[in-house]
Amino acid sequence: MVEVVSEVSGDPQTSGQPAAGCISPQNQPVSVSQIQTTVDTKHPSSEVDEKLRHTPNTRASSAMGQHDSAEYVTIGEVPTPPADNFKKVSVLPLIFLIFYEVSGGPFGVEDSVQAAGPFLALLGFLVFPFIWSIPEALITAEMGTMFPENGGYVVWVASALGPYWGFQQGWMKWLSGVIDNALYPVLFLDYLKSAIPALGGGWPRIFAVLALTLVLTYMNYRGLTIVGWVAVLLGVFSILPFVVMGFVSIPKLKPSRWLVVNMNHVDWNLYLNTLFWNLNYWDSISTLAGEVENPKKTLPKALFYALILVVIGYFFPLLVGTGALPLDRELWTDGYFSDIAKLLGGVWLRWWIQAAAAMSNMGMFVAEMSSDSFQLLGMAERGMLPEFFSKRSRYGTPLIGILFSASGVLLLSWLSFQEIVAAENFLYCFGMILEFIAFIRLRMKYPAASRPYKIPVGTVGSILMCIPPTILICVVLAISSLKVAVISLVAVVIGLVMQPGLKYVEKRRWLKFSTSANLPDLHNDSSLR
């Protein structure tokens, strides 16, 4: 096989590369390692060839702090279309992509009333965002603008703690995302089974899950901009019936119903897991940062508006449902909002809520699958996964990542709603602990690095901000069932073993690994430390 060496860096005076401490045309700091690469390219060609023969992987490792001077390109190989060739996601679609990554509407919050009653359910969706959602969204805004590339939190952790822990972060968050995505066909069918009883179980349900997964997977394949604007349309359609239901319910509202609480009959496990599941995943959008138009400004703005939209989207329907009808906690389970709509407005409103639930679950599915698949692409661009994961379709989408994510959804869709929520929460908690550590460590390790959006607190403030969500993580982990804990810990162990296994595969050259030369890098100059 013939190989051609394509130069990544050249003489700064001839290639236009800026000197140390300057800003590159892509507005990325030029690191010391890049300057060293420039020096290497001045060596005689025979010396460069000798160095390349002794380099196991010709890669430019960004956040890991190393740059080699060349990369191999096989003659006859069709290159993957550059990401810049595809249309980027603007702020409005990004808001609704975040909305669907996190929420998608109030579908799935009913269990909070069953677990704890109206007062605690309403209080939870007001207080919980301050404990969890706001800190996570702020960290995502800062880190996502610091590393505006696909891979998101994987890159943050790898930059702070090294590639081994970056891989563990990617494995746990990808797996929790796929588990989370397996919920949406379940919720979709739960809302329709009251109108179509055959979808409640058996072969009709299995075929419905399969068909729904295939259709939505194809939508992801066709392009992220399509997914973004579909999310906007689905979001508007999903929110409107609850606005109508609110107006219809006004004559029937009794504020005293909102204050009902019985501390002796609270299922804390179900309550906390429901709150946690409905208000997390703010960081998932970071894995799409490379596909966002001007992410350094767009990402923080979109997170802010999405946060407002999500909190109102939960609190208002709960306020209506608990205030307009007498309380029967046993009825508050998946799909109950459609029954409330029928009691308040009639069959037409029930059908609208059911259709909105179906559309919402479609939106959450495509948004989550986009995040999961682009995360795998970002990991491949960092050399953590085989190179074929970084290949894009003609629509700019990560084909292999989409197929892997869809396969995981199909394998897990047989689990119940509560089992899925508990399992993905457990894995998600481990990943968030790594994120908090990475956030604080990067604040300490690179205090002067470029942060287009920076949370206005110092190192001590950063640590204090992470304490309440970390305590919450410990509580969620502590109350998990033994079955969920065992399954989740087995999944964690698989990741711990998988990374050395992939490194062995890379060393033996059984699969091709490479790192993109166009990724941003932290400035490694000592003056920034």
pLDDT digits (tens, 9 = 90+) for 374-394: 999 999 999 999 999 988 888
Full DSSP string of 102-146: HTSSSTT-HHHHHHHHHHHHHHHHHHHIIIIIHHHHHHHHHHHHH
- As given in the structure block, the two tokens for residue 300 are 């923080």
pTM higher than 0.75, yes or no? yes
Question: Could you please report the per-residue DSSP string of 218-277?
Answer: HHHHT-HHHHHHHHHHHHHHHHHHHHHHHHHHGGG--GGGGG---TTS--HHHHHHHHHH
448 secondary structure, DSSP code: T
pLDDT tier for residue 21 given thresholds of 50, 70 and 90: very low
Return the pLDDT at 29.
Answer: 43
Q: What is the pLDDT of residues 73-132, one digit of tens each?
A: 333 334 445 555 567 889 999 999 999 999 888 988 999 999 999 999 999 999 999 999
Cα separation, 222 vs 158, whole angstroms:
30
The three-state secondary structure class of 67 is: strand
Residue 470 is predicted with a pLDDT of 94
Structure confidence at residue 333 (pLDDT): 87
What does the pLDDT average to over 214-219?
86
* C-alpha–C-alpha distance, residues 231 and 363, integer Å: 5
Question: pLDDT value at position 283?
Answer: 93
Length of the chain: 529
| pLDDT at site 396 | 87
Mean pLDDT score of the chain: 80
pLDDT-above-90 percentage for the chain:
45
What pLDDT, on a 0 to 100 scale, did the predictor assign at position 83? Answer: 52
Nearest to 320 by CA among 225, 416, 215, 248: 248
Instruction: Give residue for tokens 């939209």.
Output: 309
Rounded Cα distance between 411 and 6, Å, is 42
CB of 327 within 8 A of CB of 260? yes
**Residues 383 and 59: beta-carbon distance below 8 Å:** yes
Which has the higher per-residue pLDDT, 180 or 473?
473
> Does domain 91-508 fall into CATH 1.20.1740.10?
yes
More confident residue, 65 or 213: 213
SS3 (DSSP) at 295: helix
pLDDT at 416: 62
Query: CB–CB of 503/378 below 8 Å?
Result: no
For residue 469, what pLDDT is reported?
Answer: 93
First to last CA, the chain: 44
Whether 12 shows a pLDDT value over 80: the answer reads no
Higher pLDDT residue, 324 or 69?
324
The structure tokens listed for 42 are 């001045």
With cut-offs at 50, 70 and 90, classify the pLDDT of residue 222: confident
Percent share of the chain, pLDDT over 70: 79
Radius of gyration of the chain (CA): 24
Structure confidence at residue 411 as a pLDDT band (50, 70, 90): confident
CA distance 367 to 281: 11
Mean pLDDT on 205-223: 84
Sort strands 66-67 and 70-74 into parallel, antiparallel or unpaired: unpaired
Banded model confidence at residue 466, pLDDT cuts 50, 70, 90? very high
What one-letter code names the amino acid at 446? Y
Listed in sequence order, the DSSP H helices in 382-453 are 399-412, 417-445
Instruction: Give the bridge partners for 7, in sequence order.
Output: 70
Pairwise CA distance, residues 159 & 302, whole Å: 25
Report yes or no: 143 and 466 within 8 Å, Cβ to Cβ: no
Name the band, by pLDDT with cuts 50, 70 and 90, for residue 233: very high
Q: What are the tens digits of pLDDT across the range 323-358?
A: 999 999 999 987 799 899 999 999 999 989 988 888
39 has a pLDDT exceeding 50: no
Question: Which pLDDT value is given to residue 307?
Answer: 96
The pLDDT score that the predictor gives to residue 119 is 96
**What pLDDT does 113 receive?**
95
Predicted local distance difference test score (pLDDT) of residue 362: 84
Is residue 527 exposed (0-12), middle (13-18) or buried (19+ Cβ within 10 Å)?
exposed
pLDDT at 417 (0 to 100): 60
Statement: residue 145 has pLDDT above 60: yes
For residue 68, the model assigns a pLDDT of 39
> Residue 520: pLDDT band by 50, 70, 90 thresholds?
low
Q: Which letter, b or e, does each residue of 44-69 get, where b requires 16 or more Cβ atoms within 10 Å of its Cβ? A: eeeebeeebeeeebbbbbbbbeebbb
